[in-house]
Amino acid sequence: MLRTLRLLFSTLLITALTVSVASTAALAAEKKKPVKQDPALAITLQEVEALVAKGTEEGNYQLIDARPEIKFNAGHIPTSINIPKPLLPQNLDTLAKDKMLIFYCGGTACKLSPQSAEIAMQNGFTSVKVFYEGMPAWIKGGNYKIVELDYVKKKVMEGGQEPFLLIDARPLLKYQKAFIPGAMSLPEAEFDLKKGMLPADKSTPLAFYCGGYKCNLSHKSAKSALALGYTDVAAFSAGEPVWRDAGLPLWGNESSGVIAKAKKEGLPETITAEEFTRLAANGTIQIVDVRDPEDYAKGHIPGSINVFDEDFIFKQQEAIAKLATDRRIVLVCTTGARSGSSYYAILDAPDFPNKGQVQYLDAEVSYMADGSFVFAQK
């Protein structure tokens, strides 16, 4: 009798497990079922990549991540904004009326982007697309993502068992003054020389940061890491300024109250925005723009010369030869990071006689095509 009961119990248990496994498999299959795609709305990965490379203004698009904020913060496509699908009806005024709207979410099985597109069209928006493949395809296609402050803060302040490496792409000068705790210094200009510092495991999540939204060093470093075969690469484009503004701790000489400066006779190392504006108008200084040649070509201060900042490291004699020896020199860039790095490279040059008359502009500057320039409001 006891043996019969045991056999009956075993049979019932096996049956229950079989039903449970079958039900779980059915639910998983249902969950992964791709959403129905409208060919008229579909946009490909290659098309999205081409638009992102151009930027929102030149590409005339607005990229909208329809996922929850926590997913957006942990990684999204560059240039995208976050409007979770449930919040879209209350935020229709955020959508651009004169640009192509592109919605995306978590892949072909995610309903949020096509549902968001439908809401937009029902409210009169006519230029609407859906990137159905979404974030998974963007990463699989060999692209880097953008991460936000909340995500980086959690990784830095709370840690965890999962690997994560935060990398400061700014020149060493800026890093030494103040950096996000735990971040490793790997200046973008020295990436090829110091790439061996990166983890051997190419699946390690890497996040590069620099001097804020106008600084492209983190983006350039992220692309370089992808080229080396790293598969989980991000740029924390808000960077050190947003971290600082949030009242979060910083390590380094400046934050500890000790500021180490190179000994140098002559002018102070930096020039104020007010004094620079006055001297630039008078034409009494040599202005050396150390940005990328392509950025310089898009807009620069009339009379300035372009000497790429990396040339002060890799082509020092050629770069130094372009500097004036009979007047004051001011190095400029977009945020002060690259000009500061170039400044110290010049101080290290053995045979330049005009070091005492060299300064750099430590400010955020926007350069217009007509030759005008604007300082960011602090």
Give me the pLDDT at residue 223, please. Answer: 98
Mean pLDDT of the chain: 88
Q: Which range, 75-79, 107-111, 159-163, has the best average confidence (pLDDT)?
A: 75-79
Q: What is the pLDDT of residues 165-201, one digit of tens each?
A: 999 999 998 999 999 999 999 999 999 999 999 999 9
Q: Using alpha carbons, list the distances in angstroms from residue 314 to 221, 338, 358.
A: 17, 14, 20
- pLDDT band for position 264 (50/70/90)? low
Q: In CATH, what is the architecture of 45-140?
A: 3-Layer(aba) Sandwich (3.40)
Give me the pLDDT at residue 360, please. Answer: 94
Which range (56-65, 130-139, 253-262, 271-280) has the least confidence? Answer: 253-262
Q: Which of 120, 113, 155 is nearest to 137 (CA)?
A: 113
Average pLDDT over residues 74-91: 96
Q: Using alpha carbons, list the distances in angstroms from residue 278 to 197, 269, 271, 355, 377.
A: 44, 18, 11, 22, 18
Instruction: Report whether pLDDT(362) > 50.
Output: yes
Average pLDDT over residues 247-272: 74
Q: Which residue has the higher pLDDT, 21 or 362?
A: 362
Ranges for all domains in the chain classified under CATH 3.40.250.10: 45-140, 145-245, 270-375
Instruction: Report whether pLDDT(12) > 80.
Output: no
- pLDDT band for position 10 (50/70/90)? very low
Instruction: Report whether pLDDT(1) > 70.
Output: no
Give me the pLDDT at residue 255, please. Answer: 63
Contact 151, 234 (CB under 8 A): no
Contact 181, 249 (CB under 8 A): yes
Residue 131: its H or E element: strand 128-131
Q: Within 13 A of 134's CA, how many CA atoms are on the CB side?
A: 25
Give me the pLDDT at residue 377, please. Answer: 65
- State the Cα–Cα distance between residues 148 and 133, nearest whole angstrom: 22
- What proportion of the chain, given as a percentage, has pLDDT over 90? 76
Give me the pLDDT at residue 142, please. Answer: 98
Average pLDDT over residues 157-165: 87
Instruction: Give every CB contact of residue 6 below 8 A, 6+ residues apart in sequence.
Output: none
Instruction: Report whether pLDDT(26) > 70.
Output: no
CATH topology of domain 270-375: Oxidized Rhodanese; domain 1 (3.40.250)
Helix, strand, or coil (residue 179): strand
- State the Cα–Cα distance between residues 138 and 79, nearest whole angstrom: 13
Give me the pLDDT at residue 323, please. Answer: 97
Q: What is the pLDDT of residues 285-318, one digit of tens each?
A: 999 999 999 999 999 999 999 999 889 888 999 9
**Pairing state of beta strands 373-375 and 365-367?**
antiparallel
Q: Which CATH number fits domain 145-245: 1.25.40.10, 3.40.250.10, 3.30.413.10, 1.10.3720.10?
A: 3.40.250.10
Q: Using alpha carbons, list the distances in angstroms from residue 330 to 25, 70, 290.
A: 67, 43, 10
